Amino acid sequence: MGVFDPLTGENSVLDDHEHDVLLVAGSRPEVARLAPVAGALARADRIRGITVATGVDPMAVHETFEALGVDTDITLLAPTDPEAGVAEVAAALLVRLDRLMVDQDPSAVLIHGGGLTASVTATVAFWRRIPVVHMQAGMGTDDLLCPFPQEAQRRVIGQLASLFLTTSGSALGSPLGPNVLTIGDTIHSLPAPQDPGCADALARMQEKDRRLVLVDLTRAASLPVLGALPDLLERHARVEVVVTGMLATAEPALALGTHPRVTVVPELDLSDELVLLGAATVLVSDSPELVVDAPGMGSIGVLVDGPYVPQPGDSIRSTPASQTATAVGHILHSDQGRLPTPSDGFEAARAEQAVAWMFGLSRSPRLPVDDTPPPSGGHGRPRPGADGPGVESSGA
CA-closest candidate to residue 79, choices 52, 112, 55: 55
Per residue in 320-343, pLDDT (tens digit) is 999 999 999 999 987 665 666 778
pLDDT of res. 3: 40
Residue 259: pLDDT above 80? Answer: yes
Confidence at 276, pLDDT banded by 50, 70, 90: very high
Residue 363: pLDDT above 50? Answer: yes
Mean pLDDT score of the chain, rounded to an integer? Answer: 84
pLDDT of res. 271: 95
Q: Is the pTM of this model over 0.75?
A: yes
Query: Residue 124: what are its φ and ψ, rounded to 5°?
Result: -65, -45
| Sign of the four-CA dihedral 267, 273, 275, 281 | positive
pLDDT of res. 15: 61
pLDDT of res. 19: 97
Domains, the chain, ordered by start: 20-185+343-371 (3.40.50.2000), 196-333 (3.40.50.2000)
Average pLDDT rounded to a whole number, residues 86-109? 95
Would you state the torsion angle of the CA atoms of residues 97, 98, 99, 101, taken in this order, to the nearest 10 degrees? 80
- Residue 45 region, left (φ>0) first, then alpha (ψ -120 to 50), else beta? left
Residue 18: pLDDT above 60? Answer: yes
Q: Residue 356 carries which side chain, given as an amino acid letter? A: A
Residue 360 and residue 6 in contact, taking contact as beta carbons nearer than 8 Å: yes
Residues 285 and 214: their CA atoms lie apart, in Å, by 8
Write out the DSSP string of 204-265. Answer: HTTSTT-EEEEEE--SGGGHHHHHHHHHHHHH-TTEEEEEESGGGGSHHHHHHTTSTTEEEE
| Sign of the four-CA dihedral 284, 286, 288, 293 | negative
Residues 134 and 142: their CA atoms lie apart, in Å, by 19
Least confident of 83-97, 108-122, 221-235: 83-97
